[in-house]
Structure 1
Amino acid sequence: MNWPPVLIGALALLALSTALGLLWKARSGRARRAPAALSPVLTPAELADAAGTPALFGTRATLLQFSTEFCARCPQTRVLLSGVAAAHEGVRTVEVDLGQRADLARRFRVMQTPTVLVLDASGAVHTRIGGAPERRTLTRAIEQILGEDSHVAAIR
């Protein structure tokens, strides 16, 4: 067996795997703002549980977490979302198990769990976070919505 080509191939594969892993980690937990024109609007009825009970949205914003039964980071994300929601009046959390709602996984192209959507009072998606979010990222996304909400209220 000719070892130099095998070693070069193995090193190239290792370098590629490392680069892809670092890229995946860098993108995980980052917030992306949804373009207003393409922002889907969700209703509580669309996120109803198995019994048909509609989800309870916040009056000013909603943190929607897509999770699965076997997601290792979903429980800590649930706690984080609850804490951020509790710190802001009119903000609630909703969790959807994609094992029960595969239609939503396809609709929102959820490729990893947790995935968090930040919705405004009308149910429009403002921000999407793939992977476990950081507190400051969530707080910034909520404050952007609440700031817009306050600005609109001041104009009226």
Structure 2
Amino acid sequence: MTGVWALLGALAVAGAIGVLLKVREGRISRRAASADLPAPVRDLLAPGVTLVQLSTTFCAPCRHAKVILRDLADRTDGLTHAELDVTNLPDVATKLGVMRTPTTLALTADGTEVLRVGGVPKRDSLIEALRPHLP
């Protein structure tokens, strides 16, 4: 009987973790501005707001995020999309405080972080959050 309770407990914990991760997916957050950006990120900045997508080679959700972000940038004036594969750049991910991919950073031309999204962004929420920073 003890084994059954242990199994039920493990399932409950796994379920709670799954729900927590699902709730956090695509959530927009704001962080304090970092002192300086790593060179690979700084090189991607364009006038207006740049959506810098941090991805890894074998990340399936990264492909979905890329489609959403590229389409959003193509349809919005003052918004640019750039992708950076951090598979071989762990120091860049560490310096930016990125714990998962995809992570999208919205950065102004001077490198100020406007917001960040962990996971696949939700198009409507993202454009609404970006609106005050766009021309």
| Equivalent pair of 1:41/1:123 in contact (CA under 8 Å) | no
Q: Percent identity?
A: 34
Q: 1:15 maps to what in 2?
A: 12
Q: Deviations over 1:120-146 (max 9, x none)?
A: 232211111111111112212221212
Q: How does 1:1-150 map to 2 (within 5 A)?
A: 4-34=1-31, 38-40=32-34, 46-47=39-40, 54-55=43-44, 57-146=45-134
User: What is the CA–CA distance in structure 1 between the aligned matches of 2:83 and 2:36, rounded to whole Å?
Assistant: 14
User: What is the CA–CA distance in structure 1 between the aligned matches of 2:112 and 2:2, rounded to whole Å?
Assistant: 54
Greater Rg by CA: 1
User: What is the CA–CA distance in structure 1 between the aligned matches of 2:82 and 2:98, rounded to whole Å?
Assistant: 16
SS across alignment from 1:110: coil
User: What is the CA–CA distance in structure 2 between the aligned matches of 1:67 and 1:82, rounded to whole Å?
Assistant: 14
Q: Give the RMSD, CA atoms, in angstroms.
A: 1.7
Q: When the two structures are aligned, how many residues end up with a matched partner?
A: 134
SS across alignment from 2:53: strand
Give ranges in structure 2 of 5+ residues lacking alignment. none
TM-score if structure 2 supplies the norm length? 0.90
Query: After the TM superposition, which of the residue ranges 101-110 and 13-22 deviates more from structure 2?
Result: 101-110
Give ranges in structure 1 of 5+ residues lacking alignment. 49-53, 151-156
| Equivalent pair of 1:84/1:138 in contact (CA under 8 Å) | no
- Residues 141 and 121 (structure 1), Cα distance of their counterparts in 2 relative to 1, 3 Å cut: farther
